[in-house]
Protein backbone atom coordinates (compact mmCIF):
# COMPACT_ATOMS: atom_id res chain seq x y z
CA UNK A 1 0.00 0.00 0.00
CA UNK A 2 1.37 3.40 -0.91
CA UNK A 3 -0.05 4.95 2.25
CA UNK A 4 2.59 6.32 4.60
CA UNK A 5 2.25 4.55 7.89
CA UNK A 6 1.73 7.20 10.52
CA UNK A 7 3.59 6.97 13.77
CA UNK A 8 1.34 6.90 16.81
CA UNK A 9 2.76 7.44 20.29
CA UNK A 10 3.03 4.40 22.55
CA UNK A 11 1.33 1.83 20.29
CA UNK A 12 -0.34 -1.11 22.03
CA UNK A 13 -1.53 -2.85 18.83
CA UNK A 14 0.49 -3.36 15.66
CA UNK A 15 -1.41 -4.58 12.62
CA UNK A 16 1.12 -5.74 10.04
CA UNK A 17 0.26 -6.69 6.44
CA UNK A 18 -3.01 -8.15 7.64
CA UNK A 19 -5.26 -9.78 5.05
CA UNK A 20 -8.39 -11.79 5.66
CA UNK A 21 -10.31 -13.98 3.21
CA UNK A 22 -13.84 -15.30 3.58
CA UNK A 23 -13.45 -18.34 1.34
CA UNK A 24 -11.87 -16.81 -1.76
CA UNK A 25 -13.11 -13.28 -1.10
CA UNK A 26 -10.46 -10.97 0.22
CA UNK A 27 -12.20 -8.78 2.79
CA UNK A 28 -9.09 -7.15 4.29
CA UNK A 29 -6.18 -6.20 2.06
CA UNK A 30 -2.71 -5.83 3.58
CA UNK A 31 -3.70 -3.58 6.43
CA UNK A 32 -0.88 -1.82 8.26
CA UNK A 33 -1.59 0.35 11.25
CA UNK A 34 -0.61 0.89 14.84
CA UNK A 35 -3.05 1.79 17.59
CA UNK A 36 -2.09 4.14 20.39
CA UNK A 37 -2.45 3.07 23.99
CA UNK A 38 -5.10 4.85 26.08
CA UNK A 39 -6.49 6.75 23.14
CA UNK A 40 -9.69 6.38 21.15
CA UNK A 41 -9.20 5.12 17.62
CA UNK A 42 -12.13 4.98 15.26
CA UNK A 43 -12.62 3.03 12.04
CA UNK A 44 -14.96 4.58 9.52
CA UNK A 45 -16.00 3.79 5.96
CA UNK A 46 -18.92 2.63 3.85
CA UNK A 47 -20.91 -0.44 4.82
CA UNK A 48 -19.10 -3.62 3.83
CA UNK A 49 -15.62 -2.07 3.76
CA UNK A 50 -14.32 -4.45 6.43
CA UNK A 51 -14.53 -2.46 9.67
CA UNK A 52 -16.18 -5.23 11.68
CA UNK A 53 -13.92 -7.84 10.15
CA UNK A 54 -10.89 -5.84 11.20
CA UNK A 55 -11.87 -5.29 14.82
CA UNK A 56 -12.88 -8.94 15.10
CA UNK A 57 -9.28 -9.75 14.16
CA UNK A 58 -8.06 -7.97 17.29
CA UNK A 59 -9.54 -10.49 19.71
CA UNK A 60 -9.73 -13.41 17.26
CA UNK A 61 -13.51 -13.38 17.10
CA UNK A 62 -13.15 -14.35 13.44
CA UNK A 63 -11.78 -17.71 14.59
CA UNK A 64 -15.40 -18.67 15.13
CA UNK A 65 -16.22 -18.28 11.42
CA UNK A 66 -15.70 -21.21 9.06
CA UNK A 67 -13.65 -20.80 5.93
CA UNK A 68 -11.53 -17.81 6.87
CA UNK A 69 -7.85 -17.39 6.09
CA UNK A 70 -5.72 -14.79 7.80
CA UNK A 71 -2.34 -13.60 6.57
CA UNK A 72 -0.02 -11.16 8.25
CA UNK A 73 0.19 -10.42 11.88
CA UNK A 74 -1.47 -8.65 14.79
CA UNK A 75 0.65 -7.87 17.82
CA UNK A 76 -0.66 -6.72 21.17
CA UNK A 77 1.97 -5.57 23.63
CA UNK A 78 4.47 -6.92 21.15
CA UNK A 79 3.03 -10.46 21.21
CA UNK A 80 1.69 -12.08 18.01
CA UNK A 81 -1.90 -12.92 18.98
CA UNK A 82 -2.13 -15.53 16.19
CA UNK A 83 0.89 -17.46 17.45
CA UNK A 84 0.06 -21.10 18.24
CA UNK A 85 0.83 -20.71 21.94
CA UNK A 86 -1.72 -17.95 22.48
CA UNK A 87 -4.58 -18.77 24.82
CA UNK A 88 -7.60 -17.25 23.06
CA UNK A 89 -9.69 -17.09 26.23
CA UNK A 90 -6.92 -15.14 27.90
CA UNK A 91 -6.68 -12.88 24.85
CA UNK A 92 -10.41 -12.12 24.95
CA UNK A 93 -10.07 -11.16 28.61
CA UNK A 94 -7.46 -8.60 27.62
CA UNK A 95 -9.43 -7.43 24.62
CA UNK A 96 -13.10 -6.98 25.49
CA UNK A 97 -15.83 -6.44 22.95
CA UNK A 98 -19.17 -4.64 22.76
CA UNK A 99 -21.51 -5.17 19.81
CA UNK A 100 -23.94 -3.11 17.78
CA UNK A 101 -27.08 -4.46 19.37
CA UNK A 102 -27.07 -4.39 23.17
CA UNK A 103 -26.97 -8.04 24.23
CA UNK A 104 -27.28 -8.28 28.01
CA UNK A 105 -28.01 -11.73 29.38
CA UNK A 106 -31.58 -12.27 30.65
CA UNK A 107 -30.31 -11.92 34.19
CA UNK A 108 -30.15 -9.19 36.82
CA UNK A 109 -28.00 -6.12 36.29
CA UNK A 110 -25.66 -7.41 38.97
CA UNK A 111 -25.31 -10.86 37.46
CA UNK A 112 -24.63 -9.41 34.02
CA UNK A 113 -21.75 -7.30 35.30
CA UNK A 114 -20.14 -9.97 37.46
CA UNK A 115 -20.65 -12.71 34.86
CA UNK A 116 -17.04 -12.78 33.66
CA UNK A 117 -15.41 -12.65 37.09
CA UNK A 118 -17.74 -15.48 38.23
CA UNK A 119 -16.67 -17.60 35.23
CA UNK A 120 -13.09 -16.98 36.36
CA UNK A 121 -14.02 -18.47 39.71
CA UNK A 122 -14.43 -15.33 41.80
CA UNK A 123 -17.30 -16.03 44.21
CA UNK A 124 -16.70 -13.85 47.23
CA UNK A 125 -19.63 -11.47 47.54
CA UNK A 126 -17.62 -8.50 48.82
CA UNK A 127 -15.24 -8.74 45.84
CA UNK A 128 -18.04 -9.16 43.31
CA UNK A 129 -19.94 -6.23 44.86
CA UNK A 130 -16.91 -4.04 44.49
CA UNK A 131 -16.23 -5.18 40.92
CA UNK A 132 -19.86 -4.54 40.03
CA UNK A 133 -19.89 -1.05 41.52
CA UNK A 134 -16.59 -0.07 39.90
CA UNK A 135 -17.60 -1.36 36.48
CA UNK A 136 -20.99 0.35 36.62
CA UNK A 137 -19.32 3.60 37.66
CA UNK A 138 -16.90 3.28 34.76
CA UNK A 139 -19.81 2.71 32.43
CA UNK A 140 -21.55 5.82 33.83
CA UNK A 141 -24.53 3.76 34.93
CA UNK A 142 -24.07 3.37 38.69
CA UNK A 143 -26.18 6.33 39.75
CA UNK A 144 -29.06 5.21 37.55
CA UNK A 145 -29.14 1.61 38.75
CA UNK A 146 -27.51 1.36 42.18
CA UNK A 147 -30.85 1.01 43.97
CA UNK A 148 -32.08 -1.75 41.65
CA UNK A 149 -29.21 -4.07 40.90
CA UNK A 150 -31.57 -7.07 41.11
CA UNK A 151 -33.76 -5.84 38.26
CA UNK A 152 -33.58 -7.80 35.00
CA UNK A 153 -31.15 -6.04 32.65
CA UNK A 154 -33.62 -6.53 29.80
CA UNK A 155 -36.02 -4.13 31.56
CA UNK A 156 -33.63 -1.23 31.06
CA UNK A 157 -33.62 1.20 28.13
CA UNK A 158 -31.48 0.44 25.07
CA UNK A 159 -28.84 2.97 26.12
CA UNK A 160 -28.70 1.54 29.62
CA UNK A 161 -28.48 -1.99 28.22
CA UNK A 162 -25.52 -0.95 26.10
CA UNK A 163 -23.82 0.55 29.16
CA UNK A 164 -24.46 -2.76 30.99
CA UNK A 165 -22.62 -4.50 28.16
CA UNK A 166 -19.77 -2.02 28.51
CA UNK A 167 -19.70 -2.58 32.29
CA UNK A 168 -19.69 -6.34 31.67
CA UNK A 169 -16.65 -5.94 29.43
CA UNK A 170 -14.88 -3.65 31.89
CA UNK A 171 -15.47 -6.00 34.83
CA UNK A 172 -12.91 -8.29 33.19
CA UNK A 173 -10.35 -5.49 33.48
CA UNK A 174 -9.33 -5.61 29.84
CA UNK A 175 -6.53 -3.52 28.37
CA UNK A 176 -8.45 -2.83 25.19
CA UNK A 177 -12.17 -2.34 24.60
CA UNK A 178 -13.50 -2.93 21.07
CA UNK A 179 -16.89 -1.46 20.19
CA UNK A 180 -18.61 -2.24 16.90
CA UNK A 181 -21.13 0.53 16.16
CA UNK A 182 -22.22 0.61 19.81
CA UNK A 183 -24.62 3.54 19.36
CA UNK A 184 -26.31 2.66 16.12
CA UNK A 185 -29.46 1.42 17.89
CA UNK A 186 -29.57 4.37 20.31
CA UNK A 187 -31.14 7.82 20.36
CA UNK A 188 -28.97 10.97 20.43
CA UNK A 189 -29.17 11.42 24.21
CA UNK A 190 -28.18 7.83 24.95
CA UNK A 191 -25.45 8.19 22.31
CA UNK A 192 -24.07 11.34 23.96
CA UNK A 193 -23.88 9.54 27.31
CA UNK A 194 -21.90 6.71 25.77
CA UNK A 195 -19.59 9.13 23.98
CA UNK A 196 -18.85 11.03 27.23
CA UNK A 197 -18.25 7.74 28.98
CA UNK A 198 -15.82 6.51 26.31
CA UNK A 199 -13.81 9.71 26.63
CA UNK A 200 -13.55 9.06 30.39
CA UNK A 201 -12.71 5.42 29.76
CA UNK A 202 -9.61 6.20 27.72
CA UNK A 203 -7.85 7.44 30.85
CA UNK A 204 -7.34 3.78 31.67
CA UNK A 205 -8.19 1.78 28.57
CA UNK A 206 -7.42 1.70 24.89
CA UNK A 207 -10.69 2.18 23.03
CA UNK A 208 -11.24 1.09 19.42
CA UNK A 209 -14.61 1.93 17.93
CA UNK A 210 -16.23 1.21 14.61
CA UNK A 211 -18.78 3.82 13.73
CA UNK A 212 -20.80 4.75 10.66
CA UNK A 213 -21.37 8.11 12.34
CA UNK A 214 -18.61 10.44 11.16
CA UNK A 215 -19.58 13.14 13.66
CA UNK A 216 -19.10 10.59 16.39
CA UNK A 217 -15.62 9.72 15.14
CA UNK A 218 -14.79 13.42 14.87
CA UNK A 219 -16.11 14.17 18.36
CA UNK A 220 -14.48 11.45 20.40
CA UNK A 221 -11.56 9.84 18.64
CA UNK A 222 -7.90 10.75 18.69
CA UNK A 223 -7.07 8.76 15.56
CA UNK A 224 -9.27 7.75 12.65
CA UNK A 225 -8.82 5.13 9.96
CA UNK A 226 -10.88 5.39 6.78
CA UNK A 227 -11.50 2.14 4.92
CA UNK A 228 -12.91 1.29 1.52
CA UNK A 229 -13.40 -2.18 0.04
CA UNK A 230 -11.04 -3.85 2.47
CA UNK A 231 -8.29 -1.28 2.16
CA UNK A 232 -7.06 1.27 4.63
CA UNK A 233 -7.30 4.42 2.54
CA UNK A 234 -6.05 6.86 5.13
CA UNK A 235 -5.14 6.82 8.79
CA UNK A 236 -4.24 9.86 10.79
CA UNK A 237 -4.95 12.13 13.70
CA UNK A 238 -8.72 12.60 13.66
CA UNK A 239 -8.63 16.36 13.03
CA UNK A 240 -6.42 15.78 9.98
CA UNK A 241 -8.80 13.21 8.52
CA UNK A 242 -11.76 15.53 8.90
CA UNK A 243 -10.22 18.88 8.03
CA UNK A 244 -7.26 18.10 5.85
CA UNK A 245 -7.53 14.63 4.29
CA UNK A 246 -4.70 13.64 1.99
CA UNK A 247 -6.74 11.34 -0.25
CA UNK A 248 -9.56 12.30 -2.58
CA UNK A 249 -11.59 9.25 -1.50
CA UNK A 250 -11.41 10.34 2.13
CA UNK A 251 -12.51 13.82 1.23
CA UNK A 252 -15.42 12.52 -0.82
CA UNK A 253 -16.55 10.31 2.01
CA UNK A 254 -16.31 12.84 4.80
CA UNK A 255 -18.07 15.47 2.74
CA UNK A 256 -20.90 13.03 2.11
CA UNK A 257 -20.38 12.59 -1.60
CA UNK A 258 -20.81 8.85 -1.23
CA UNK A 259 -21.31 6.14 1.34
N1 LIG B 1 -19.09 -14.24 7.96
C2 LIG B 1 -18.89 -13.77 6.72
N3 LIG B 1 -18.81 -14.60 5.66
C4 LIG B 1 -18.58 -14.15 4.41
N5 LIG B 1 -18.42 -12.86 4.10
C6 LIG B 1 -18.49 -11.97 5.11
C7 LIG B 1 -18.72 -12.37 6.47
N8 LIG B 1 -18.74 -11.26 7.25
C9 LIG B 1 -18.53 -10.22 6.42
N10 LIG B 1 -18.37 -10.63 5.15
C11 LIG B 1 -18.10 -9.77 3.98
O12 LIG B 1 -16.87 -9.10 4.19
C13 LIG B 1 -16.96 -7.74 3.77
C14 LIG B 1 -16.69 -6.83 4.96
O15 LIG B 1 -17.75 -6.96 5.88
P16 LIG B 1 -17.78 -6.23 7.29
O17 LIG B 1 -16.47 -6.43 7.95
O18 LIG B 1 -18.99 -6.71 8.00
O19 LIG B 1 -17.93 -4.69 6.85
P20 LIG B 1 -18.41 -3.42 7.67
O21 LIG B 1 -18.38 -3.77 9.13
O22 LIG B 1 -17.46 -2.36 7.29
O23 LIG B 1 -19.79 -3.10 7.21
C24 LIG B 1 -18.34 -7.57 3.17
O25 LIG B 1 -18.23 -7.75 1.80
C26 LIG B 1 -19.14 -8.69 3.82
O27 LIG B 1 -20.18 -9.11 2.98
MG1 LIG C 1 -19.87 -3.79 10.55
Q: Considering only CA atoms, which residue is closest to atom 3 of ligand 1?
A: 22
CA of 119 to the centre of ligand 1 (A): 31
Give the chain's mean pLDDT: 95
Residue in 40, 12, 52 with CA at minimum distance from that of residue 230: 52
Total Cβ atoms within 10 A of residue 249: 18
Q: CA 71 to CA 173: how far, in whole Å?
A: 29
Pocket lining for ligand 1, CB < 6 angstroms: 22, 27, 45, 47-53, 65
Note the maximum CA span of the chain.
Answer: 57
Q: Considering only CA atoms, which residue is closest to atom 9 of ligand 1?
A: 53
Q: Considering only CA atoms, which residue is closest to atom 20 of ligand 1?
A: 48
Element (H, E) at 235: strand 231-237
Looking at the CA of residue 56, tell me the nearest atom of ligand 1. 17
Q: Model confidence over 1-30: pLDDT tens digits?
A: 445 668 899 999 999 999 999 999 999 999
Residue in 129, 130, 194 with CA at minimum distance from that of residue 157: 194
The string over 89-124, giving b where at least 16 C-beta atoms fall within 10 Å of a residue's C-beta and e elsewhere, is: eebbbbbbbbbbebebeeebbbbbbbbbbeeeeeee
End-to-end CA distance of the chain: 22
CA distances from 168 to 88, 111, 153, 164 (A): 18, 9, 12, 6
Q: Model confidence over 110-130: pLDDT tens digits?
A: 999 999 999 999 999 999 999
Average pLDDT over every residue of 192-201? 96
CA of 158 to the centre of ligand 2 (A): 19
Element (H, E) at 119: helix 115-119
pTM here is 0.95
Query: How confident is the model at residue 258, as a pLDDT?
Result: 65
Amino acid sequence: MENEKIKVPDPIVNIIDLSLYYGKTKALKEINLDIAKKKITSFIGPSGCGKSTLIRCLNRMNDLIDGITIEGCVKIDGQDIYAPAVDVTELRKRVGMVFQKPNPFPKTIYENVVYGPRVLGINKKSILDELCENALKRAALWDEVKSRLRVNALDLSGGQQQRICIARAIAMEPEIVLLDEPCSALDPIATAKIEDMLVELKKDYTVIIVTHNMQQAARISDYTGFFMMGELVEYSVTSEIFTNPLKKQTENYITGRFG
